[in-house]
Amino acid sequence: MLAVCVDFEIERASLAAFLPIMQKNAAESLANEAGCHQFDITQDPQNPTTIFLYELYDDAAAFESHKQASHYLEFNEASGGMITAKSVRLLQKINH
């Protein structure tokens, strides 16, 4: 499994608009992508403009498919002006 960890910093004025489109992207990823197994959205309670995503995919190919999905492309376009910083880490999940 491939774990995808994404850190976002959102403009404060855009936060109320960002969260619903992020939630829609997560829900559609889980519902429509066979290779997507988890898509958690978290928010720092001390700094609400800091958003962290934890996503699990079958493999790198499933994540690449996610980035081509229409709901992801729509999210990317809609949220572009709202994001002031973004970093993505790809990690291999170790099964126990």
pLDDT in tens, 48-76: 999 999 999 999 999 999 999 999 999 99
On whether residue 4 sits in a domain, the answer given is no
On whether residue 50 sits in a domain, the answer given is yes
> What per-residue confidence (pLDDT) applies to 80?
86
On whether residue 96 sits in a domain, the answer given is no
- Look at the block and give the residue holding tokens 């493999």: 59
- Domain with 41, as residue range(s), is 11-83
On whether residue 64 sits in a domain, the answer given is yes
On whether residue 60 sits in a domain, the answer given is yes
Percent of the chain with pLDDT over 90: 95
3-class SS of residue 12: helix
State the pLDDT confidence band at 35, using cuts at 50, 70 and 90: very high
On whether residue 90 sits in a domain, the answer given is no
The overall average pLDDT reported for the chain is: 96
For the cut 90, the answer to whether the pLDDT of residue 7 exceeds it is yes
On whether residue 95 sits in a domain, the answer given is no
Q: What is the CATH number of the domain that holds 40?
A: 3.30.70.100
CA dist 40 and 24 (Å) reads 12
> Region 8-12: what's the mean pLDDT?
97
Q: How many domains does the chain have?
A: 1
Q: What is the pTM of this model?
A: 0.92
CA dist 66 and 49 (Å) reads 24
On whether residue 2 sits in a domain, the answer given is no
